[in-house]
């Protein structure tokens, strides 16, 4: 890839994250649809952006990677637009049949992202954000560094945020309990290097 082409792609990613352009309008519309469908909140997306940015900075990711990670943090669950409302809004734990349906959302999101030039660069990470370091995740059963780096970063941040927020069927855990649980799953569910960076730096953020 030429330096000029790389610069063009970096500029394009940055434009997607700015508010006063047509590309951002597309992203804003997609985000609004996702939030309305899945009951995710803008606050959840904002917390994920902050958490993943903290990890990305410590890993010294490029500006282009950080821009892609911000998009991923905001739109990783876009595939939930294809999941039944009864499942998404169920005020209790899902049964096995419902979980089978819910687990389709990374593949649905992947197909949506591939169909959009604005999102195609994060399609693989959307597909992979529920993979596990030990290979026991879904939908492809990827393990270790075969999982895209951005998806590995998001997995840690998303788990922390999910655990520390109330859900219809359970109360939030404390930050320390969530940190302890993530630490126990380093090398199992999560990339151990990312967990170490997360634990070392989480106190810097007011989340």
Indicate if the pLDDT at residue 204 is higher than 90: no
Q: What CATH number labels 3-204?
A: 1.10.3210.10
Q: Among 46, 43, 116, which Cα is nearest to 81's?
A: 116
Give the confidence band of 22 by pLDDT, cuts at 50, 70, 90: very low
Sequence ranges of the domains in the chain: 3-204
Which pTM was predicted? Answer: 0.85
Is the model's pLDDT at 39 over the cut of 70?
A: no
**pLDDT, tens only, 63-116:** 999 999 999 999 999 999 899 989 988 888 899 999 999 999 999 999 999 988
Q: Torsion angle, CA of 69/70/76/82, rounded to 10 degrees?
A: -140
Q: Roughly what angle, to the nearest 10 degrees, separates helices 149-163 and 42-59?
A: 130
Angle between the N-to-C axes of helices 192-201 and 149-163, in degrees from 0 to 180, rounded to the nearest 10: 50
Taking each helix axis from N to C terminus, what angle separates 175-184 and 192-201, rounded to the nearest 10 degrees? 160
Q: Are 50 and 202 in contact (CB under 8 A)?
A: no
Per-residue confidence (pLDDT) for residue 20, from 0 to 100:
46
Note if the bond before 139 is cis, omega within 30 degrees.
Answer: yes
Range scoring the smallest mean pLDDT among 19-28, 85-94, 130-139? 19-28
Query: How far is the C-alpha of 20 from the C-alpha of 183, rounded, in Å?
Result: 40
For residue 132, the model assigns a pLDDT of: 98
């Amino acid at each position: 890839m030429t330096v000029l082409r790389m610069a063009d792609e970096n500029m394009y990613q940055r434009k997607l994250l700015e508010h006063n352009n047509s590309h951002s309008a597309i992203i804003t519309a997609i985000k609004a649809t996702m939030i309305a469908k899945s009951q995710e909140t803008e606050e959840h997306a904002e917390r994920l952006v902050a958490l993943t940015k903290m990890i990305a900075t410590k890993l010294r990711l490029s500006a282009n990677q950080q821009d892609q990670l911000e998009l991923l943090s905001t739109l990783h669950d876009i595939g939930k637009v294809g999941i039944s409302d009864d499942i998404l809004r169920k005020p209790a734990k899902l049964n096995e049949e419902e979980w089978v349906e819910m687990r389709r959302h990374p593949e649905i999101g992947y197909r949506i992202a591939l169909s959009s030039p604005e999102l195609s660069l994060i399609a693989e990470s959307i597909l992979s954000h529920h993979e596990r370091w030990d290979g026991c995740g879904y939908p492809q059963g990827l393990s270790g560094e075969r999982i895209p780096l951005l998806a590995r970063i998001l997995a840690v941040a998303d788990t922390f945020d999910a655990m520390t927020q109330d859900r219809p069927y359970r109360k939030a855990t404390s930050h320390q309990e969530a940190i302890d649980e993530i630490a126990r799953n380093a090398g199992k569910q999560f990339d151990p290097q990312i967990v170490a960076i997360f634990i070392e730096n989480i106190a810097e953020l007011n989340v």
